[in-house]
Structure formats: structure tokens, C-alpha cells
Amino acid sequence: MKDRNFSEFTDEELILEFQCNGNEKAFEILVQRFKNPLTNYVYRFLGDYDSCVDVVQDTFVKVYRYKDNYSSLSKFSTWIYTIAGNLARTEYQRKRRRNFFSISSYGEEDKSFDIPDNSNRPDVAADMSIKSEIIQKALLKVRDSYREAVILRDIQELSYEEIAEIMKIEVGTVKSRINRGRAELQKYLKDIYND
Amino acid sequence: MNEEEKTYKKLLDDLKNLPKVDAPKNFEAELLRKINSSESEKKENFWEKWLSPGKLAPAAIAIASAAIIFFVVDINSEEMEDPLNIAPRLREDLAIVESIDEIQVTPLKKSGSVKEETKDINKGLLQTKEAEGQNGSDLGLDNQSDMKSNETENSISDDLISDKSDSDSFKAEETRSLGGSIAPSPVTTTASEINKDNINFMQRNLSTEEKKEVQQLKMKVQTEKSAKTQQNSNKLP
């Protein structure tokens, strides 16, 4: 009876239930609610599905282990997005360093090298168009801080306030970053939009 | 929709229409496995942290060194060996004597010479006493304290004059003899017996001319002293 009611709970109520009573059912519901949005967000930021899944899983592991660090003053979604964003940034930097030493040294400087592995790629599985693939590649060229803001606003459709809380910056800064990110993205995609 | 969004309308539409990427089907199972492994790692890490050889080795070394210091060095121990209570070491090179009769008694030369020296010192002291007595009687002083001070001064001057040796050199053998008397030993002399005669630190033998000079200087000093005392007495009202 109680378990059935959990699905009606808000995110904050669920995490409080998990915090206070250690009810793992509440945690499972939170996982079900946030696994796909977080996967989408992290994938758009990293551009690699395998590492994206790892990052999202690590995010939930952190939520599980450090559940007491959550304060009810903020929204649960902003807290979990902050954790995922931090882990994604760390993973992206690690990947970039690894690529710099392994692949980039052999080729051109500006080009990004994605090793094609279509077996696990969700975009291929979902019959993704070429356009979306180009957009994703262009997105990865945008500066990290701009990209994060653009993804959170234009793909995840979060409010400016939520983004400001997640990125721990002012709303004005969020807006300017989104604007610059969009401009950069459009510059990279000029061949598509000129047509 | 504001103007900025209008300019990027196409782009924003495309971004919104990007296919949503979902988590894999086995996401929860993998997550559960990760959580369990992290929990076990957490527990292992605690014990590994404290029982790892990297931490145990220095701790063991520290304990062992502390034990060594405590038991071996033990500076404040009350059971320290008293050097006076330690039995003397047996020397194997010495012959074992069963009875006292077997011990050969040999006269010690040094002890004999020491006795002779003490005899000489005593003789010297007697002579000095006699000389002091004679000087005192010759002067005819009634006051004992004045007599003593005069005795000492006279004895010094007499001794200086009567000394036969003219050399100024220091001689180890002459340290005990001065003007026919022998320097007193601190063991045999008393406080009353000590006088200037016996306190010739320099152990210097003066020539007759030097002795005369010394006496003249002394006379001068005495006359100056007496003149000063007279002047002081005249100045006072």
C-alpha cells in the first residue's frame, strides 16, 4: 500500500523518505524517474554512450552513499543534475586528455576524432538522422560551460533559475552563456542553416 | 519567445527534436551491483586502511623500538648496579694465596721516605718556633698581638738576609727550605704556627743586596705611613 503511494511522492519527499527511513524503494523510484533525463543530458555533453551510462550510474551511487548531504532547501532535480554535471565534466576532461595523448597527436588540431562504435549507440538504434548526428558533433565543439548551459536549457528544457542553481552561477550569467553557446553552435552548423 | 530565441528558432527546434537517449535496460541491475560493490569496498577499505602492511610495518617498528628502549636502556631504573657493591673481577693472572703467611711482605721505600720527610718538617717547625721565641724576647714586647706582627715582619727580613743562596731561579728541591726552616705541611701545622715565614709563595731566594733593598723599602713605607697618620691627626680638630 505504502509502496504504491511512493510513485505519487515528489522527488523531495522520496529523497527524504530514503534519508530518514533508508527506504530503498524510494531510491528506486528516484532512479526510474531520473535515469533517462540524466542519460540524455550526459550523453549530449560527452557524446559517448558507454561513458555516459557509467557517469549516470556513478551519479546514483553518489546519491545513495551521500544521501545525507542533500538539504531539503533545494530541489532534488538540481542536486542530482549538479552531481551528474560535475562527474560529466570530470569524465570529459579525462577523455580529452586521453585523446590528446593518443589520437590528436597524429592528426589535425581542430578536428575531433570519434571512434565509431555503432553497436551500442542509441542514436543509431533510434534511427537518428544525419542531421542530429551533425548537431551532436557540433555540440561537442562548443565550449564546455556554454554547452552545459545550452543542453540544460534547450534539450533538457530546465528554467534559467534551475540552471543557475545547477551550475552555481547567476541567472544573468546563465543567459549570456546560453546565448553565446547558441551562437557558437549556429556558427558550427552554418552549412545546415544557410540552406 | 524573445528575439534571441527567434533568431535561433531553427536551431532550438532541432535541439528539442533531438532523439532522447535512454538508459540501457539493465541499468538498475548494474547500478545495484555498483552500489553493493562500493559498499563492500568501503568496508574493505576501512580494514585495509588500518591493516595494510604499509601502515602495520612502521607501527610494528615503533612498538619494537619502544620496547627496546624501555627494557634495555631503562634510564630511570632503580635496580641500577651500584659500583661499590660490584664484586671485583677475578684476575686469573694472579697467583691464588690460600693463607696470609704466604704473602711476602716487602718494605715500601716510598712510605719510609715519607716518614723521613715528615720528621724533617717537624724539626723545621720546632726551629721556627724557637726562633720566634728568641725574637720576641729580644724585642721585649709585652703585647702579644704586636709581638706577633713584628715577629712575622722580622722573621721575613731575617730570613731574607740570612739566606745563603744568591740565585733567583726556582728550584723544586728548595721549595721546602727557607732560611734554615722548613715549609710547614698543612697536616702538621696549626693556625698559630703559620706566619709569613712559611708563606713564601714565590719560594724565591734573594741576594744580600736585594734583601737590603727590600728592607729599605719597608722602612720607607713605614715612615710614609707614620707621616700620613700624623698629618691626619693634625687635620682633625
pLDDT tens for residues A56-65? 999 999 999 9
Of B20, B27, B38, the CB nearest to A61: B38
Note whether A132 contacts B28, CB cutoff 8 Å: no
Which ranges of chain A have pLDDT less than 70?
A: 1-4, 100-129, 194-195
Which ranges of chain B have pLDDT less than 70?
A: 1-5, 42-51, 74-81, 90-204, 236-237
Rg (CA), chain A: 18
Query: What beta strand segments (E) does A43-135 contain?
Result: none
How far is CA B103 from each of CA B95, B100, B106, B111, B231, rounded to the nearest angstrom? 11, 6, 9, 19, 78
For chain A, which residues lie within 8 Å of any Cβ of chain B, measuring from their own Cβ? Answer: 28, 31-32, 35-36, 38-40, 43-44, 49, 52-53, 56-58, 60-61, 64-65, 122-123, 126, 128, 131-132, 135-136, 150, 154-155, 157, 179, 182, 185-186, 189, 193
Cβ–Cβ < 8 Å for A137, A114: yes
Spatial distance between the Cα atoms of B54 and B52, rounded to a whole number of angstroms? 5
Spatial distance between the Cα atoms of B117 and B111, rounded to a whole number of angstroms? 10
Of A44, A64, A154, the CB nearest to B12: A154
B4-55 pLDDT, tens digit each = 667 788 888 888 888 889 999 999 999 999 888 877 776 666 666 666 777 7
ipTM above 0.90, yes or no: no
What are the structural domains, with CATH classification, of chain A?
A: 1-114 (1.10.1740.10), 129-195 (1.10.10.10)
Cβ–Cβ < 8 Å for B215, B153: no
Continuous H helices in B69-171: 109-139, 144-162
Long-range CB contacts (within 8 A, 24+) of B68-75:
none
